[in-house]
């Protein structure tokens, strides 16, 4: 899965718990509907924490003619934290992929808290680096991995995010009901190509559908390269040393 960094591609890491505790203390709840836009490209000073549902960062498709997903955002992620922290702007659209529950936080209050508390600042700096690593890993995968392998990597990243230690059962349920179009937007494939790959996996006995849920067999992931899973590589501990 990972070729360069320690963060998973396509799915950024969860926000550190001390920051989550602060966010919940100073935020208000808001329910958003599928398809609702939380933050337009280039828009600053909006900060959210995702409690339930699924959102995504989209790259606007003015140049390519179709939108692409930069990162999928499951629960436990902040959205707009870079602009809220340092005031930088980026042309990324933040949108809900399902009905969701978010916490809305005043950006100025968040910025003041981060700058006033060295522990929170260190955690946020470390987390920001991991988020960028995740984005870069996804981009590298889309440039260098074959089409089917990119889909495998995305599914494994989602499964590991839902459960860091995958269950012993050979079949695993994909945590979210993602359409073929959305899957293609993440791994840079046209929808018909995604459908063809998934159909091939079903015929090979590596994927099945139970109702509206997709299940994959553990054998699907046997040939995925991950530099951190090589037996000759030590497992690095990038937990920030606070003090």
The pLDDT tens digits of the residues spanning 163-193 come to 876 666 889 999 999 999 999 999 999 999 9
Q: Is 205 left (phi over 0), alpha (psi -120 to 50) or beta?
A: left
Asked if 54 and 97 count as a contact pair (C-beta separation under 8 A), the reply is yes
What is d(CA 95, CA 49) in angstroms, rounded to the nearest whole number?
Answer: 13
What is d(CA 141, CA 5) in angstroms, rounded to the nearest whole number?
Answer: 12
pTM to 2 decimal places: 0.90
Transcribe 181-213 into DSSP letters. HHHHHHHT--HHHHHHHHHHHHHTTSEEEETTE
Cβ-based neighbours of 121, under 8 Å, separated by 6 or more? 114, 115
The pLDDT tens digits of the residues spanning 2-60 come to 999 999 999 999 999 999 999 999 999 999 999 999 998 777 678 999 999 999 999 87
**% of the chain surpassing 70 pLDDT:** 90
Asked if 10 and 138 count as a contact pair (C-beta separation under 8 A), the reply is yes
What is d(CA 184, CA 151) in angstroms, rounded to the nearest whole number?
Answer: 8
Q: Tell me the pLDDT of the chain averaged across its residues.
A: 90
What is d(CA 102, CA 176) in angstroms, rounded to the nearest whole number?
Answer: 17
The pLDDT tens digits of the residues spanning 73-95 come to 999 999 998 888 877 778 889 99
């Amino acid at each position: 899965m990972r070729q360069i960094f320690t963060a998973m591609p396509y799915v950024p890491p969860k926000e550190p718990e001390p920051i989550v505790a602060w966010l919940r203390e100073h935020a208000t709840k808001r329910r958003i509907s599928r398809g609702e836009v939380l933050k337009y490209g280039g828009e600053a000073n909006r900060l959210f924490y995702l409690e339930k549902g699924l959102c995504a960062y989209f790259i606007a498709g003015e140049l390519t003619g179709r939108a692409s997903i930069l990162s999928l955002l499951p629960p436990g992620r902040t959205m707009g934290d870079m602009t809220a922290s340092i005031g930088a702007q980026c042309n990324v659209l933040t949108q809900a992929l399902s009905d969701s529950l978010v916490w809305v936080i005043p950006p100025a209050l968040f910025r003041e808290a981060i700058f006033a508390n060295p522990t929170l600042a260190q955690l946020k700096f470390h987390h920001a680096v991991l988020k960028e690593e995740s984005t870069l890993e996804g981009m590298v995968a889309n440039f260098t991995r074959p089409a089917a392998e990119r889909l495998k990597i995305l599914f494994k990243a989602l499964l590991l995010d839902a459960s860091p230690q995958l269950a012993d059962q050979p079949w695993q349920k994909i945590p979210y009901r993602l359409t073929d179009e959305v899957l293609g937007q993440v791994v840079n494939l046209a929808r018909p190509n995604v459908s063809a790959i998934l159909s091939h996996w079903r015929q090979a006995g590596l994927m099945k559908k139970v109702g509206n849920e997709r299940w994959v067999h553990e054998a699907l992931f046997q040939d995925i390269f991950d530099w951190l899973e090589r037996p000759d590589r030590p497992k690095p501990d990038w937990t920030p040393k606070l003090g």
